[in-house]
Structure 1
Amino acid sequence: MAAKDELGRAGEQRAADHLIRQGYTLLDRNWRCGQGEIDIVAARGAHLAVIEVKTRRSAAFGHPFEAIDDRKRRRLWSLAFAWRAAHPDLADGRALRLEAIGITGADPAVGVLEHLVDLA
């Protein structure tokens, strides 16, 4: 496995652990369809969150959240609706929202973690 892939997996695991500590229930990870992939789908209260995780060793090439531009947000919305359609029993009438977790640091286990809720 490439170092980049290992970094991404470690970042996603750290993000999942963070979400659980914040009271989220993880519903799906790395869900794929013809339109792309969702890193994490989680529920908390009345919301169903589609969460994009970006992990970087440093900010030398930009902050992790800079990779989530308008085009990426549109694709995430499309994926969110596709996931909800494929899992009506898990969606349970909850309102959809996009979230992002950025982790910056050489070791994702101890790097700086930032969590943006409701990317609109």
Structure 2
Amino acid sequence: MAKTSPTRALGEYGERLARRYLSESGLVVLDQNWRCEHGEIDVVASEGDTLVVCEVKTRRRELLGPAVEAVAPTKAARLRRLAGCWIEAHPQRERTRDVRIDVIGILRPDVGPARIDHLRGVQA
């Protein structure tokens, strides 16, 4: 059995924390780590009639700036395209009116609690 790298373990921790945060915030988590030939979506959720595609960025330090700033407009546009792929792959799902791209930044320092930043509606 292969060991999980520290970087991968940190990412998995952040995604678990993000899913719990979203659920506690009233969103319904529909999918996680969904992949297709064009890429991956960390978390797919719904908030009312809105499909929410979430990119989760987890860091131990903010040396390079807040994690939510790591998603550039090109990444947001790719996530929007991936949302369309997810919708096509789930035809049984009731059609949503809107698609929103969110970024969840998790700061997990060596000491102290994790911090969650939720950036809603990133523009592509």
Fold agreement, TM-score > 0.5: yes
Structure 2: gaps of 5 or more residues: none
Q: How many residues align?
A: 119
Alignment RMSD: 1.5
Could you tell me which residue of structure 1 aligns to residue 30 of structure 2?
27
Contact 2:68/2:117, CA 8 A, preserved across alignment: no
For 1:91 and 1:12, the matched residues in 2 are separated by 25
User: Which residue of structure 2 aligns with residue 52 of structure 1?
Assistant: 55
Deviations along 1:3-59, one digit per CA (max 9) or x if unpaired, are: 000000000000000000011111100000011100000011111100000000010
CA distance in 2, matches of 1:29, 1:91: 18
Normalising by structure 2, we get a TM-score of 0.89
Structure with the largest fraction of helix? 1
For residues 64-106 of structure 1, give each alpha carbon's deviation from its aligned partner in whole angstroms, at most 9, with x where no partner exists. 1221001111111110111011112225233111011001122
Task: Please give the TM-score of this superposition, normalised by the length of structure 1.
Answer: 0.92
Aligned mates of 1:100, 1:94 — CA distance in 2? 20
CA distance in 1, matches of 2:28, 2:95: 13
Q: Hey, what's the Cα distance between the residues in 2 that align with 1:5 and 1:105?
A: 14
Runs of 4+ in 1 over 3 A off after TM superposition: none
Gap runs ≥5 in structure 1? none
How far the C-alpha of 1:111 sits from its partner, in A, is 1.2
- Corresponding position of 1:2: 5
Q: Which protein shows a greater Rg?
A: 2
